[in-house]
Amino acid sequence: MHAVQTPEGIELHLPVAGIVPRAAAWLIDLLIRAVIYLLLGLTLMLLGDTGTGLFLIATFIVEWFYPVLFEVLRDGQTPGKRAYDIRVIHDDGTPIGWSASLIRNLLRVVDFLPLAYGFGLLSMMLNRDFKRLGDLAAGSLVIYVQAIPEAPDLPEVPPLRPDWPLSLEEQQAIIAFAQRSRSLTEERARELALLTVPLVEPARQPVQTLQGMANWLMGKRPDSDKQART
């Protein structure tokens, strides 16, 4: 598992894809490219020397930009990766971009050395995230596709900005409290909320204050802020 901490204080655990599914996905993509080369060859070779030149240019473009286009435009998945439910992302969990995808795929030349992806396989076996050299250089990661986790179900309370910056642990604690608060008795919820004094004031609805802060930490903003931005 690869752990990623979001700005909202939530820690995500991403299941890293190992050598076997990645190798199988690569074989599928290789077969697809082979079919493309065959069709190009049958078509362009009819043009003689000009067709030969066009064929070499076309195969170069397909070989190097086939994975890049799919990874960037198809949510990090080539057809082979999609077949095995794996995808490429940045180390921080964000979708793969053009520069990172170009780097990781151009460095396949180095990964292939000295033979049959020798360096790439060695790198993957020595790395806990199964990264080949291209992934290390690009800051990319191959993971199993997961359903996007749903946002925490928080009470409908107007978002409230905390009075001072909070640590990651404090943010997580506030969000967790807001999630549980509706299952607690009013007295128990207030008792727990008062443990956060001076973040909340006893005379100003401490439970609702923490619930509002949780909504703020999850990215919600007051309607007045939205209207000001528009």
* Secondary structure letter of residue 164 according to DSSP: S
The set of residues, in sequence order, having a beta carbon less than 8 Å from that of 131 and lying 6+ positions away, is: 123, 124, 140, 141
Q: What is the pLDDT of residue 151?
A: 65
121 and 43, same structural domain?
A: yes
133 and 44, same structural domain?
A: yes
139 and 185, same structural domain?
A: no
Q: What is the pLDDT of residue 7?
A: 62
Q: Is 151 left (phi over 0), alpha (psi -120 to 50) or beta?
A: beta
19/125 Cα distance (integer angstroms): 8
Q: At what angle do helices 98-106 and 49-73 cross, to 10 degrees?
A: 130
In a domain, 152, yes or no: no
Where in the sequence is the domain holding 190, given as residue range(s)? 168-222
Burial of 219 (0-12, 13-18, 19+ CB in 10 A): exposed
Q: At what angle do helices 118-126 and 19-44 cross, to 10 degrees?
A: 160
188 and 140, same structural domain?
A: no
* Secondary structure letter of residue 114 according to DSSP: T
Q: What is the pLDDT of residue 2?
A: 78
Render pLDDT for 75-125 as a digit per residue (tens, 0 to 9).
999 999 999 999 999 998 889 999 999 999 999 999 989 888 899 999 999
Render pLDDT for 183-196 as a digit per residue (tens, 0 to 9).
999 999 999 999 99
126 and 73, same structural domain?
A: yes
The set of residues, in sequence order, having a beta carbon less than 8 Å from that of 165 and lying 6+ positions away, is: none
204/94 Cα distance (integer angstroms): 39
Number of domains observed in the structure of the chain: 2
Regions of the chain with pLDDT less than 50: 226-230
211 and 103, same structural domain?
A: no
Contact 16/1 with Cβ under 8 angstroms? yes
125 and 68, same structural domain?
A: yes
